[in-house]
Homo-oligomer: A and B are copies of this chain.
Amino acid sequence: MSVTAAKGFTAAGITAGIKESGSPDLALVVNTGPRRSAAGVFTSNRVKAAPVLWSEQVLKSGEVTAVVLNSGGANACTGPKGFQDTHATAEKVADVLGTGAGEVAVCSTGLIGVLLPMDKLLPGVEAAAGQLSEHGGEKAAIAIKTTDTVHKTSVVTRDGWTVGGMAKGAGMLAPGLATMLVVITTDADLETEALDRALRAATRVTFDRVDSDGCMSTNDTVLLLSSGSSGVTPEYDAFAEAVRTVCDDLGQQLIRDAEGASKDIKVEVVNAATEDEAVQVGRTIARNNLLKCAIHGEDPNWGRVLSAIGTTDAAFEPDRLNVAINGVWVCKNGGVGEDRELVDMRYREVHIVADLAAGDAAATIWTNDLTADYVHENSAYSS
């Protein structure tokens, strides 16, 4: 159902020939209205891909009629020519849809530093426009895959209105990895300001806390479009909850499909002095390569959790730290706790709790283990 679960949207996903493999590589999502409000959140990387620079400008108007997304090339670090290509892509979409290029957001994903094959992409836009359908959401979700092994969609339906979306990628937003692209649509009748507020609130506690490998992409984009075609204007809180639910679901799907991963690791930091410190500590634990290797080896090596915590400037006393792995408090008061042999790590999900004993704030960061498959996949990516 994806981006066409909500009324007022059509979509398509086709093979334009950008990827040498012949897999689908071009998606188009169109808001048929009546409303065309939109909000966006973009990578915080200072090296931004051309489509990010373009779409940031488009979103300033608060209105988006269409989103065109390609896999097979990130169009990042491609200079003035790359930006011209993004512009030309938006113009082409505007042309075939009879709208203005200033209402067309562009997203790209793939290898950095390579120009897009515009001789394939522009005809692809026409082909995609010819296949736009109220049932095209699934195909669009498939066309934006790169190293994804499955396409990712999510839908929640409430009292007369719907929020649905699609995502690709294996990581995170800000910082973000391997290009995470997300388009969420709704037929709830809401203005840009409410969309923007709900989207930022949702990404802050979902995509922003998914940190597969600590690497931030040049292309990460999350868009939320409203067609208003349900005619229902929900309470803000109900809408925000629905958006958060979709973002959370898509974020979990990203983690479960992360490159080469064999474990999904939930790092829960509790009793921190502030939420910011909880996030900082969670992210630091989530990025510790030695710990990620240990989890891969099903080794409850809590010393690596403590040594990671020790590199942060969060409030804590070393001799009051507690760590649980899968429910066993293997570290108590900074030292040896319950028997580590009690920890059962056979399952894909691993739950680490780090208790800072410094306050009452908490945050959860999701990450993956570090595996030989991750190394293999990422050492061969561009060759």
Using a CB–CB cutoff of 8 Å, the interface residues on chain A facing chain B are 44-48, 74, 76-79, 81-82, 111-115, 175, 177-178, 213-218, 287-290, 293-294, 296-299, 301-304, 306-312, 316, 318-319, 321, 331, 333-336, 370-372, 374-383
Contact status A309-B47, CB under 8 Å: yes
Does the CB pair A294–B379 fall under 8 Å?
Answer: yes
**Contacts A111-B303, A215-B308, A318-B46: A293 and B378 contacting too (C-beta < 8 A)?**
yes
A297 touches B379 (CB 8 A): yes
Q: How far is the CA of A62 from the CA of B42 in the complex (A)?
A: 53
Are A289 and B214 touching (Cβ within 8 A)? yes
Docked CA distance A113–B307 (Å): 11
Distance A307 CA – B216 CA, assembled complex (angstroms): 7
Q: Would you call A47 and B307 a contact (CB within 8 A)?
A: yes
Chain A binding surface, main DSSP class: loop
Contacts of A288 in B (CB 8 A): 214-215
Q: A306 near B378 (CB under 8 angstroms)? A: no
Beyond A112-B307, A375-B370, is A213–B290 a contact (Cβ under 8 Å)? yes
- Besides A76-B303, A77-B335, A175-B311, 8 other A-B contacts (C-beta < 8 A): A46-B311, A48-B318, A112-B304, A113-B306, A213-B290, A216-B310, A290-B378, A294-B378
Residues of B close to A47: CB separation below 8 A: 306-307, 309-310, 318, 321, 334
B293, A374: Cβ atoms under 8 Å? yes
Nearest chain B CB to A53 CB, angstrom units: 10
**A290 to chain B: closest CB distance in Å?**
5
